[in-house]
Structure 1
Amino acid sequence: MSMTSLPIVTMLRDRMQWHQTRQKFLAENVSNADMPGFRPKDLAPFQPVVSASSRATAGGMVPVALTDPMHLTGTLSQGGDAKPARRVETRPSGNAVNLEEEMLKVAENQSEYQLATSLYQKSLAMLRIAAGVKGA
């Protein structure tokens, strides 16, 4: 098994590819901001794949281990991560691109891509150190 086929490394690589694809969509939205009738596009949120056993046990949620009877079990909050619906303003030309919103998405996407890249590099370096490979 190579180091790049480990689940964490694969997930980070998939995340970086998702951000690259999203950046293409966002750049297209910005470049077509004055095109009559253009509708902005975006990718669905990135959902990392969790093992089949954890999906089956908790309805898609990874269960928390209760290691001491004195620990609180806790509950899941409903709608804690919900975002308000995006308001789409359509100009008389039929264009629905909001440049400010698109540029915020671009900046957020770039920041998250840099984080994934950094984690990917650090994970590979840590694996090289653990394997005793020179040049880490």
Structure 2
Amino acid sequence: MFEKIEMMRMARALGHHASQRQIAVARNIANADTPGFKAEDVASFTDSYRAASEPLRTTDPRHLAAPDWSPADRRTLAETGVSPNGNSVSLEEEMLKGAEVKRSHDLSLGIYSSALDLMRTSIGRRA
């Protein structure tokens, strides 16, 4: 039922995007001293959500339906300077990305909570 409401779908997708970006940030921080490691980041939520909202065309009715939203294979290399050992991780940038991830996760929870409050109000229950 809830997956058919666009606001709920978007809140879920934003939360999933925030978790995938947190994984990328944590991986970058963990490999900050690894020689030759290239920092990764996830494409912006706006770009990936728009790309996912365009339905994929199937050529056979037996094909599986595409998932509602998936950030898989949407990682891009971060454009940062490279240290002498070939590592491109900047801890300062990763900490800023971590703060952005927390903000977007909090936003997704706020949207989800507001949508639930609207639904409760519409059926006559108080939030």
Q: Fold conserved (TM > 0.5)?
A: yes
Q: How does 1:1-136 map to 2 (within 5 A)?
A: 2-47=1-46, 48-49=49-50, 88-133=80-125, 136=127
Q: Report the identity percentage.
A: 35
The secondary structure found in structure 2 opposite 1:105 is: helix
Shift of 1:4: 4.5
The structure that is strand-richer by fraction is 2
Task: State TM-score, norm by structure 2.
Answer: 0.70
Amino acid at match of 1:128: R
Listed as ranges, the gaps of 5+ residues in structure 2 are 55-77
Aligned to 2:68: none
Q: Structure 1 segments of 4 or more deviating over 6 A? A: none
Amino acid at match of 1:102: E
Listed as ranges, the gaps of 5+ residues in structure 1 are 53-85
Aligned to 2:57: none
Q: How large is the Cα RMSD of the aligned pairs?
A: 2.1
Task: State TM-score, norm by structure 1.
Answer: 0.66
The structure that is helix-richer by fraction is 2
In 2: Cα distance, 1:87 partner to 1:32 partner? 16
In 1: Cα distance, 2:34 partner to 2:25 partner? 15
The CA deviation string for residues 11-69 of structure 1, in whole angstroms up to 9 with x for no partner, is: 111111011111000110011100111001111111234987xxxxxxxxxxxxxxxxx
